Amino acid sequence: MSKTKEGTVKWFNNSKGFGFLATADGGKDLFVHMNEIKMDGYKTLKEGQKVDFEEGV
């Protein structure tokens, strides 16, 4: 079972569709791809945006 974690968007490139998250627990930065963003409409993230996420492989 996956546990939801919190983080902050470090940066996200809209044209390439990916970026990195800083984890709230101070762990390694995590890669994020637009295909994994769960929201309606245009899937993008903004620098500094707080997010909830589940780590995957």
Domains of the chain, first to last: 1-35 (2.40.50.140)
Measured CA distances, 6 to 16, 23, 50 (Å) = 24, 6, 7
Confidence (pTM) = 0.85
- Residue 9: both structure tokens together: 């968007």
Tens digits of residue pLDDT in 7-29: 999 999 999 999 999 999 999 99
> In whole angstroms, how large is the CA radius of gyration of the chain?
11
Tell me the per-residue pLDDT of 24-55, one tens digit each, with 9 for 90 and over.
Answer: 999 999 999 999 988 888 889 999 999 999 88
